[in-house]
A = this chain, B = another copy of it.
Amino acid sequence: MHCQKCEKKASIHLQQHRMALCKEHFLEWLLNQTENSIKKFHLFTKGERILVAVSGGKDSLSLWDILWQLGYCVDGIYIDLGIDARIGYSQKSRLLAEQFASERKLKLKVVDVKAAYSENIPEMTERTQRGQSKPCSVCGLVKRYIMNKSALEEGYAVLATAHNLDDEAAILLMNTLNWSMDLIRRQLPLLPERPGFVRKVKPFYRTYEREAAAYALLSGIRYIYEECPYSKGSTQLYHKRILNQIEDRQPSVKLDFYLGYLRANENRMFALKADDKENIHEYYCANCGQLTNRGDLCSFCNLTSGQKL
């Protein structure tokens, strides 16, 4: 098969876009697609300081690389979760993130959870009952808190995460099977800034996981191949597999599903009605001062102050 743009041998066939491209044109195409995604939802501008959350995996390193190539002002944050799981998961992924940054002379902030809060993620999980010994729930809470805090404290305009289309479609499927309207309402590429919370964006919302992986491979980015060992058996991975099955039969179903949701959202399909009330209670955490929807301590401070959750 030949590249659609230059007749060279194609390196990748994007069935969902009915398109085959050589290495150079694929890399260029993904850069352009990301730029268009950023502009379409006004995620950020060239003048703003961006902090990208980096895990050492293909998605976040590809995103960081692309934003950098596009000329955005973008630093990285790596959170060392202290997950070993017999494969040295955190150690390996941290090294890869650091190498990526130093090769490009980019700024990477590293937060070591154990150093900062006395326990790593597996230890916090073991102590609390949150997540029934699956650390994903504790881990999500800790990462969200640290990313937001770091972005705010260091004056970034925006925090970018590398959630890709496969992630977004799987989460949307999960939330749609339950019709969890509050979650469906918020699954947007841009969550605007509000007091105590930095603007959050997902520039890869229309990028297939396979495209992010191909970008990393073709541009020579070294990333950690292993998924987090704790994600095995997770509901989100299960829904990803289901959508992969449907995509095999019906190419572009993930894209149609998520973009169709965005259109339905633009048409105010999921908007709160005039007589609905959103359950927002605003308190300030007695420890860290962050806005929270519960009195006394926020969930994070509750977790790190040694409470059982």
Residue ranges of A at the interface with B (Cβ–Cβ < 8 Å): 176-179, 181, 238, 242, 245-246, 249, 253, 256-257, 260-261, 263-264, 267-270, 273, 276
In the assembled complex, how far is the CB of residue A274 from the closest CB belonging to chain B, in whole angstroms?
Answer: 11
Q: Tell me the nearest residue of chain B to A254, going by C-beta.
A: B177
A267 touches B273 (CB 8 A): yes
A178 close to B256 (CB less than 8 A): yes
Contact present for A257 and B181 (CB under 8 Å): no
**A177: contacting residue among B246, B268, B270, CB under 8 A:** B246
A179 in contact with B257 (CB, 8 Å) = yes
Question: What's the Cα separation between A273 and B265 when bound, in Å?
Answer: 13
Nearest 6 CB-CB pairings of A with B: A179-B260, A179-B264, A177-B257, A176-B176, A177-B253, A178-B260
Residues of B within 8 A of A273 (CB): 267-268
For A256, list chain B residues within 8 Å (CB): 177-178
Query: Cβ of A260: which chain B residues have Cβ within 8 Å of it?
Result: 177-179
User: Shortest Cβ distance from A295 into chain B, in angstroms?
Assistant: 29
In the complex, which residue of chain B has the Cβ closest to the Cβ of A273? B268
Distance between A91 CB and nearest chain B CB, rounded to angstroms: 33
* In contact, B242 and A245 (Cβ under 8 angstroms): yes
